[in-house]
Amino acid sequence: MADLIYIEYNFTVAPLQPASDILIAQLGEIGFDSFVENEEGVQAYILKDLWKEDSVKDVQILTNENFNISYDFKEIEQQNWNSEWEKNFEKIVVEDICTVRAPFHEKPNTEFDIVIEPKMSFGTGHHETTHMMLQHILEHDFKGKSVLDMGSGTGVLAILAAMKNAGSVDAIDIDNWCYLNAVENKERNNCNQINVFEGDVSLLKDQKYNIIIANINRNILLADIPSYAKCLTKDGILFLSGFYKEDIPVITEKCNEVGLKFEKNLEKNNWVAVKYVF
C-alpha cells in the first residue's frame, strides 16, 4: 500500500458552515474518501487512480453564489499521511462514556476506550455522523446480537459494538485501504468477534442480523435499504447516517416500502443519524 498516490485538495471555504459539510458530502459522492477540516476550510483526498480533475469542477456547491470556495491540489504520497493526521488528530469523548483516540494519546478513564489509526480511512468519530452513530450504539443493548457495520471505514462503529458484547460483527467496506485499516484496528482493540470484508451490498446473501449500522451517503443508502431489510431479523434495528435532516423524508419513504418505520433521530449541525425498526 505504501506506493499508493493520493491527490490532496485544499479548499478555502467562506463561510465555513454549512458549506464545509455540504462540500464534504458532495466530494464523497465522486470518490473522495478522507477529509481533514481546519480553520480555513477542508483538505480532501482521493486516490490518483480514481481522480479526474474535471469531475471536481462539477461539484455543485463550488458554483453556489452563497459561498466563496477556492482550491488547489497536489499529489501526496500515502506515507506522508501518518505524520499529517498525527499533527491534527485529537481524541474525542462521547457521552463521557467512550473515548476514540490514537495510540499516542494517554489512556482515558472512560468505560470504552477505542484506539485507532485512521490513516486514509473515514470514521475517526470527529465527523457528526460517526459521532452520532457512536451515541446510538452507546444507548442500545448489543449483548449477544449479530451486527453488520456497512461502510465501516476505520471500523470504529464495529469496534464499539464488539466492546458492548455483540455476539458477532461483520464490517464491510468497498475501499481496500479501509478494509486493511479496519482489520488493523480490530486487532489493535482485541475485537476477535469482528469479521472484516472488502466489498459492497452484493456480499449480503443469506445473512441475518439483529442490528445493521450504515453510515454512508444518501444515494447509496436509498439503493441498499431493501437489501438491509432482507437481512434484518423480524425485531431488527437499522441505524442510518451520512445524510442531512432534509433527507429524512425520502430515506423514511424507502424504509417504509420495505416495512421499516422511523423511530427516532439524532441531529448535529444538520446531519442526522436515524433509527428504524420493523
Distance CA 208, CA 173 (A): 18
Residues 65 and 133 in one domain: no
Read off the amino acid at residue 103: P
In a domain, 263, yes or no: yes
Q: At 3, is the pLDDT very low, low, confident or very high (cuts 50, 70, 90)?
A: low
Q: Which position has the higher pLDDT, 89 or 49? A: 49
Number of H helices, E strands in the chain: 8, 14
Residues 135 and 228 in one domain: yes
- Find the mean pLDDT for residues 108-117: 94
Residues 32 and 133 in one domain: no
Q: At 2, is the pLDDT very low, low, confident or very high (cuts 50, 70, 90)?
A: very low
- The confidence score (pLDDT) of residue 177 equals 80
Cell numbers at residue 84, please?
499529517
Residues 72 and 175 in one domain: no
Strands 194-198 and 168-173: parallel
- Find the mean pLDDT for residues 64-69: 94
Residues 69 and 151 in one domain: no
In a domain, 86, yes or no: no
Residue 260 has pLDDT above 50, yes or no: yes
Looking at residue 54, which CATH number applies to its domain? 3.30.70
Range in 85-94, 239-248, 269-278 with the lowest mean pLDDT: 85-94
Residues 166 and 266 in one domain: yes
pLDDT, tens only, 26-39: 998 888 877 878 88
The domain total for the chain is 2
- The confidence score (pLDDT) of residue 120 equals 54
Last residue of a domain, one of 79, 97, 117: 79
Which candidate, 35, 36, 39, places its Cα nearest to that of 27? 35
In a domain, 105, yes or no: no
Cell numbers at residue 247, please?
433527507
pTM of the full structure: 0.75
The range of the structural domain enclosing residue 140 comes to 128-277
- Find the mean pLDDT for residues 203-215: 96
Q: At 119, is the pLDDT very low, low, confident or very high (cuts 50, 70, 90)?
A: low
In a domain, 114, yes or no: no
Range in 13-22, 49-58, 80-89, 211-220 with the lowest mean pLDDT: 80-89
Range in 3-17, 68-82, 86-100, 198-212 with the lowest mean pLDDT: 68-82
Residues 75 and 132 in one domain: no
In a domain, 107, yes or no: no
Residues at the binding site for S-adenosyl-L-methionine are 130, 151, 173, 215
Residues 165 and 266 in one domain: yes
Looking at residue 226, which CATH number applies to its domain? 3.40.50.150
In a domain, 244, yes or no: yes
Residues 142 and 256 in one domain: yes
Residues 73 and 147 in one domain: no
Residues at the binding site are 130, 151, 173, 215
Residues 140 and 35 in one domain: no
In a domain, 91, yes or no: no
pLDDT, tens only, 134-186: 999 999 999 999 999 999 989 999 999 999 999 999 999 988 888 999 999 99
In a domain, 158, yes or no: yes
Residues 63 and 180 in one domain: no
Provide the 10 A C-beta neighbour count for residue 176. 12
Q: Which position has the higher pLDDT, 18 or 157? A: 157
- The confidence score (pLDDT) of residue 103 equals 87
Say if CB 233 and CB 171 are below 8 A apart: no
- The confidence score (pLDDT) of residue 1 equals 39
Between the CA of residue 171 and those of 91, 110, 150, 212, 262, what are the distances in Å? 23, 24, 6, 10, 24
